[in-house]
Chains A and B, each alone.
Chain A
């Protein structure tokens, strides 16, 4: 395994931290008729526990495909994915579901909340499938919603919430199972700038509390909220560097509000 050819290897030393998620030689090929589309070509990536990382690249670079593969929503054509030391890429669908449920939280650009379902019930959903029931489920979901500042919106349906609030419900849903990793795919893509700053603030807070955060974005400003940026192009890692001037979302809020015309 160790002597795999690593195209654009990104073996940043984790110092004393362990590697929480690792992709080794991951390729993904889609067969569209007679044409093979190589979305990923042998990507190596290791993510250290408790860090915040951005995956950047233009559309078609394979960043979303990579996120889906390391999030166990999709399978690599070649290579392997290791979550907390466990090789998962050959697991059966139900085993993958269990790993997603316990160890990974997702935040999507389009929120992906269940319609006609209250914020609380949406946040409870992963716990339903984890087999947590009754009072404990409801208590943990309430805590998660309070953590993202929606303690007063628990009974609201998604269509009664603003985009920023819906994304915060999605974050609460991602963190309610206390996962080791939160994967956020363009989390601010559908939001106005103020809501975007709020969402980034929450993600940085989660990271400060020890949760590994992976941001997938094409936006340079969003990417610089992380400690490290990995850039992809044409399915390959082209650069991997630490962020020198990391943005603190909480410090930007005032300026963004002013710029947006005092709304908030």
Chain B
């Protein structure tokens, strides 16, 4: 008996129990759809974050307070016990690294904005005159803040596109004034929409001189120092130089990452997360597989007589075995195909809220895995069926 014949027999048997076959498949469908969907979300988020880190501008180096190598209980980056950077540290770096590289102290914090009766809470990302180098962004109108405004702590602000749309709908905000934490600020520019980034949704932020931000928040600290190397070839040497400059002041209580390293860390974290999600979804696929085995075992004992008849007229062990394995594989593969379709469709719908990307490897993996589940969980019932004694099977009521 050839494979085609076995498949025909298997399909006929599945067709005879439509509801049961459909319910059995449902387990695999849900499992596969979950794998596809969760991996799609993981991959989508990973891609977006990668994109926004790369979009920050090239050749960036980030210096964080605190040691990443410290064990548990240590300060950690930005931890309370850690000594924070100040603007002076950034100025020192600028002097020692030379004018061809741009150094910017960066501070972020929450703010309340008000224009007339419109209020919104948002985040400020503040830096010095090198802000354009580290944040990027295209001005729709207006300009960035100048060095003089940084030294003076001038109350000027630049709006991200979301903030502008909320507070100044259908209006050019440049030159308008607004209240920031109760202080009067003048809007000097606004930016085009640019999407999310490492520092959050860049469109839902405002930008201002770091001195002004420190006064608003009531601190002299800066969160991190960003350094933009003149060329990509300088990045490594510059990292060494930064360590040399800061070690006398901070010991090893600071960390230096290039953009590539930051990207690597994020990709590692998100990759692990994606695999975890896939693993969780894989468990439901496993449960689906056990459902297949359960139904196949029921099916074998229900069809004991049929197996006896087949053996009486000449079916060999292999014929019975392949009939039942193919039945199980058909269930799981059909479930896999439907699951992939549902998962891909779900990923498309979810794209409105979460970035998703259905990758070929996820589809291939889900498909292979579901076929594997069918074989793995089908073999035991099929083996049981094939080993039935013909006369016992025929006598079975």
Contacts and interface: CB of A to CB of B under 8 A. Distances in A.
Interface residues of chain B: helix, strand, loop or mixed (majority): helix
A114 B309 contact: yes
Contacts of A101: 313-314
Interface in A34-87: 68, 71, 73-74
Contact of A112 (B305, B316, B389, B391): B305
Given A108-B394, A114-B309, A97 B315 contact: yes
A98 B313 CA distance: 9
A133 B5 CA distance: 9
A114 B306 contact: yes
B1 interface: yes
A190 B308 CA distance: 20
B383 to A, nearest CB: 13
A129 B394 contact: no
Interface residues of A, number: 28
A68 B390 CA distance: 10
Contacts of B311: 73, 97, 100
Contacts of A177: 314
Nearest to B313: A126
Given A93-B317, A94-B317, A129 B305 contact: no
A130 B314 contact: yes
- Chain B CB within 10 Å, residue with most, of A68, A129, A130: A129
Nearest to A106: B312
Given A117-B12, A129-B310, A112 B317 contact: no
B168 interface: no
Contact of A116 (B16, B314, B317, B391): B16
A147 B311 CA distance: 24
A102 interface: yes
Contacts of A126: 313-314
Contacts of A133: 2, 5
Contacts of B314: 97-98, 100-102, 126, 129-130, 177
A128 B391 contact: no
A158 B312 CA distance: 18
Interface in B287-330: 305-306, 308-319
Contact of B391 (A68, A97, A114): A68
A131 interface: yes
A92 B312 CA distance: 15
Contacts of A115: 306
Nearest to A96: B390
A93 B311 CA distance: 10
Given A74-B391, A128-B1, A94 B318 contact: yes
Given A97-B314, A125-B309, 20 more contacts: A73-B311, A73-B390, A74-B390, A94-B316, A97-B316, A101-B314, A102-B314, A112-B312, A112-B394, A113-B309, A114-B309, A115-B306, A116-B16, A117-B12, A126-B314, A128-B5, A129-B313, A129-B314, A131-B1, A131-B2
16 contacts: A73-B311, A73-B391, A74-B391, A97-B317, A100-B311, A100-B312, A100-B313, A108-B394, A112-B305, A114-B309, A116-B16, A125-B310, A129-B1, A129-B319, A173-B313, A177-B314
- Report the 9 A-B pairs with minimum CB-CB distance, sorted nearest first: A101-B314, A129-B314, A126-B313, A94-B316, A73-B391, A74-B391, A97-B316, A73-B390, A112-B309
Interface of B: 1-2, 5, 12, 16, 305-306, 308-319, 389-391, 394
